[in-house]
Amino acid sequence: MTFLNRGQIINIESTQITDAGIYKCVAINSAGATELFYSLQVHVPPSISGSNNMVAVVVNNLVLSGGRILALTSAQISDTGRYTCVAVNAAGEKQRDIDLRVYVLRNKDAYIQHGKPIFHLVAPNIMGEEQNVSILISQAVELLCQSDAIPPPTLTWLKDGHPLLKKPGLSVTENGSVLKIEDAQVQDSGRYTCEATNVAGKTEKNYNVNIWVPPNIYGSDELAQLTVIEGHLISLLCESSGIPPPNLMWKKKGSPVLADSAGRVRTLSGGRQLQISVAEESDAGLYTCVASNVAGTAKKDYNLQVYIRPTIANSGSHPTEIIVTRGKSISLECEVEGIPQPTVTWMKDGRPLTKGRGMEVTDEGHILQLKNVHVSDTGRYVCVAVNIAGMTDRKYDLSVH
């Protein structure tokens, strides 16, 4: 408080409530005295106690009324919104916003005490038990995390115990209730966790996500050509992949291949290998490896050819004795079988037979014809049959008299 202009003005800075009152100005000189009265009122600008916050009101709960209280005696869901309290007086204006949310409680969330309802905050509870979710690769999957807790919880997601990383094709709704994976890949498999948190507590729900991959058999786009010599061992291999690991089954000409009691035919390594320990001619044919899991089926074909050693009809262990009169004709037979078809050659006395007078080989070597024989034609004739599986022969001892 200061005095100006020789006391004619009194100046009060930053007035307070205590400055209010009656002020008297007295002027005196030799001629006399006079006085002037002032009544000072100090007005205080409006203020609203408290701070901006969120207020939760329960349906049918009673909000107490008063001189500066807005009472909602029977709050409804539709009452949710932002309310503004405005205070005005001669000194100015002040306002404060209050956000109101109205929740619906279950009966078990409230009880009566002294005639008034008492309400509990409800800790988060996520609907449903732990889930196992299985989908095919490249499909989409949605994980739902729903809670009716009060107040509504904050929802966060984890994968394998770590915060969920953002990546193309993965999205979470604004409120966190839905996790969606587009075009799911194998690396999206894992344990997802939804955590729900509010002031009353925290809970979580787990989702075990499996991405199934259809079977694939390496080289399935080509027919495998396999060969084995009769009596030898042969193994057919079927290398497959898939999630879950596929089951393997072998078929021959459309029918399941059954292991025999002697163990000559059996499957090994969980079906990856079909083994025939002593191959027989009847083992030849078209085999199929079938790989299957929950995601699908794959096949691979194998054509097995069994090579059979040559055999010659009536060959025996001893030479066939033939006696012929000079000038006559004779035919020596060599009936050969084998797989593949054997090559037949003739020898005389240990040397390859060369074409000569009256000699002819017909029927792809199966017949040796000797015409107008001479004494010089006497000797040992040998038919030799050869293929990839082996060789055999038939001997003739020819005597010309």
Q: pLDDT for 155-200, tens place per residue? A: 999 999 999 998 999 999 999 999 999 999 999 999 999 999 988 8
- Say yes or no: 31 and 62 in one domain: no
126 within a domain of the structure (yes/no): no
- Say yes or no: 208 and 222 in one domain: no
152 within a domain of the structure (yes/no): yes
- Say yes or no: 60 and 75 in one domain: yes
What CA–CA distances, in Å, run from 26 to 8, 23, 55?
10, 10, 58
Q: Is 124 exposed, middle or buried (0-12, 13-18, 19+ CB in 10 A)?
A: buried
- Say yes or no: 281 and 358 in one domain: no
Place of tokens 């022969």: 393
Closest CA to 152 of 97, 82, 105: 105
124 within a domain of the structure (yes/no): no
Contacts of 203 (CB under 8 A, 6+ apart): 123, 124, 125, 126, 195, 196
Is 45 or 309 the better-scoring residue by pLDDT? 309
What sections of 202-319 are H helices per DSSP? none
As a whole number of Å, the end-to-end CA separation of the chain is 168
Closest CA to 239 of 291, 202, 277, 195: 291
Residue 151 has pLDDT above 70, yes or no: yes
**What gap in Å lies between CA 356 and CA 159, rounded to an integer?**
90
Residue 171's domain spans which residues? 131-214
* 288 within 8 A of 235, measured Cβ to Cβ: no
Which one of 119, 139, 163 terminates a domain?
A: 119
Q: Is 107 left (phi over 0), alpha (psi -120 to 50) or beta?
A: alpha
Rg of the chain over Cα atoms, rounded to whole angstroms, equals: 54
CA 51 to chain centre: 51
SS3 131: strand
Residue 73 has pLDDT above 80, yes or no: no
Residue 117 has pLDDT above 60, yes or no: no
Segment holding 170, helix H or strand E: strand 170-172
Instruction: Read off φ and ψ for residue 167, nearest 5 degrees.
Output: -160, 155
33 within a domain of the structure (yes/no): yes
- Say yes or no: 154 and 104 in one domain: no
369 within a domain of the structure (yes/no): yes
**What gap in Å lies between CA 105 and CA 121, rounded to an integer?**
9
pLDDT at residue 60, rounded to an integer = 44
125 within a domain of the structure (yes/no): no
* 299 within 8 A of 288, measured Cβ to Cβ: yes
**What gap in Å lies between CA 103 and CA 157, rounded to an integer?**
25
**What gap in Å lies between CA 333 and CA 342, rounded to an integer?**
15
Residues 249, 251, 252, CA angle at the centre, nearest 5°?
160
Contacts of 311 (CB under 8 A, 6+ apart): 336, 337, 338, 385, 392
Closest CA to 119 of 107, 129, 135, 127: 107
Q: Over the stretch 221-251, which tens digit does the pLDDT of each residue have?
A: 999 999 999 999 999 999 999 999 999 999 9
Q: Is the full-model pTM beyond 0.75?
A: no
pLDDT at residue 53, rounded to an integer = 47
- Say yes or no: 226 and 302 in one domain: yes
187 within a domain of the structure (yes/no): yes
18 within a domain of the structure (yes/no): yes
- Say yes or no: 68 and 22 in one domain: no
- Say yes or no: 232 and 276 in one domain: yes
- Say yes or no: 292 and 322 in one domain: no
- Say yes or no: 172 and 237 in one domain: no
- Say yes or no: 239 and 305 in one domain: yes
Which one of 309, 341, 376 terminates a domain?
A: 309
Contacts of 94 (CB under 8 A, 6+ apart): 45, 46, 47, 48, 86, 87, 88
- Range with the poorest average pLDDT among 71-85, 196-210, 229-243: 71-85
Q: How many domains does the chain have?
A: 5
Q: Over the stretch 249-296, which tens digit does the pLDDT of each residue have?
A: 999 999 999 888 888 999 999 999 999 999 999 999 999 999 999 999
Work out the pLDDT band at 66, boundaries 50, 70, 90: very low
- Say yes or no: 251 and 191 in one domain: no
Question: Which pair of structure tokens corresponds to residue 37?
Answer: 């009265």
CATH number at residue 359: 2.60.40.10
Residues 287, 291, 295, CA angle at the centre, nearest 5°?
150
Work out the pLDDT band at 67, boundaries 50, 70, 90: very low
Which one of 70, 95, 119 terminates a domain?
A: 119
**What gap in Å lies between CA 89 and CA 45, rounded to an integer?**
7
Place of tokens 């100005």: 25
Give 216's strand partners: 241
